[in-house]
Amino acid sequence: MDALVGRTVAVDPSSYTVGASERCLWVYLTDPSRYVALTLGGSASHAATIQSFGEGEVVESLGDEARWWGGTKTLSVLDGERSLQVDLQLDDAADPRALAVSIAQAALAQR
């Protein structure tokens, strides 16, 4: 993740499970509210994200369906029966959408 984000984590990454989803968190500043989170789960997580945030902006050529919400800096990707969400809370990211897409592409390549 450090290579994708272009910085070094402040503390070791952590993860936890919520229902059928696993969420990993990388904190990049001494302020723990500045982080990158990656949530992996079933297709229902993608649907729940759309239900929570609204329709969002369609992102082409990523999984079976992908949506971006600029206000929350969240990307959700449906890929078959699984999904992933990237949540960016980095104020100084030059292009948060492009960064979220690159993180999602790297995650999809690992699955």
- Quickly tell me which residue has 């992996």 as its tokens: 40
The per-residue pLDDT for 111 is 67
Q: Where are the domains of the chain?
A: 2-110
Each residue's pLDDT tens digit, 38-78: 999 999 999 999 999 999 999 999 999 999 999 999 999 99
In the chain, DSSP assigns E strands to 14-18, 21-27, 35-42, 57-58, 65-69, 74-79, 82-88
Cα torsion through 4, 2, 97, 16, rounded to 10: 120
The answer to whether the beta carbons of residues 56 and 68 sit under 8 Å apart is yes
Each residue's pLDDT tens digit, 2-32: 898 888 888 888 888 888 888 888 887 777 7
Alpha carbons within 13 angstroms on the beta-carbon side of residue 14 total: 7
Each residue's pLDDT tens digit, 88-108: 988 777 899 999 999 999 999
CATH fold of 2-110, please? Protein Transport Mog1p; Chain A (3.40.1000)
The per-residue pLDDT for 68 is 98
